[in-house]
């Protein structure tokens, strides 16, 4: 139940960022949207490779490697989002957008560390 709620809140925060990226033509929102999209694509590809190599007996050791890389992609994504949101010179005064990005970061960290 809590995990479903967590995924729902992550989806809503992504929706808010995508909304600002394409309706308000906000540069920060576009950067974060691209980072999230690339992270999801890389994680899916690495997880798929991991599942593929797990089925082959002599390559099963590579399955763990690709799972670790998939987890690393998520943390690199979060570091890039934090950099573009709070450190880079992209100035944005929209508190709803920054709040949605912050909620996304916190909830993804909660999901990755299995806190719930």
Q: Which domain holds residue 9?
A: 2-111
Please report whether residue 87 resides in a domain.
yes
Please report whether residue 17 resides in a domain.
yes
Please report whether residue 40 resides in a domain.
yes
- The domain tally of the chain equals 1
95: its two tokens: 């508190």
Please report whether residue 116 resides in a domain.
no
Of 34, 29, 39, whose CA–CA distance to 76 is shortest?
39
For residues 96-111, b (16+ Cβ closer than 10 Å) or e, as one string?
ebeebbbbbbebbebe
pTM score, whole prediction: 0.88
The Cα 67–Cα 71 span in angstroms is 6
The Cα 88–Cα 9 span in angstroms is 26
Query: Which residues in the chain land under pLDDT 50?
Result: none
- The predicted-structure confidence for 75-100, as pLDDT tens digits, reads as follows 999 999 999 988 888 778 888 999 99
């Amino acid at each position: 139940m809590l995990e479903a709620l967590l995924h729902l809140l992550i989806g809503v925060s992504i929706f808010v960022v995508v909304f600002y990226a394409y309706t308000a033509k906000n540069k920060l929102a576009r950067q974060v949207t691209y980072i999230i999209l690339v992270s999801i694509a890389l994680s899916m590809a690495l997880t798929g490779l991991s599942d593929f190599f797990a089925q082959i007996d002599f390559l099963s050791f590579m399955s763990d490697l690709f799972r670790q890389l998939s987890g690393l992609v998520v943390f690199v994504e979060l570091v890039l989002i934090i950099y573009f949101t709070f450190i880079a010179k992209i100035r944005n005064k929209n508190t709803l957008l920054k709040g949605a990005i912050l909620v996304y970061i916190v909830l993804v960290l909660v999901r990755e560390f299995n806190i719930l």
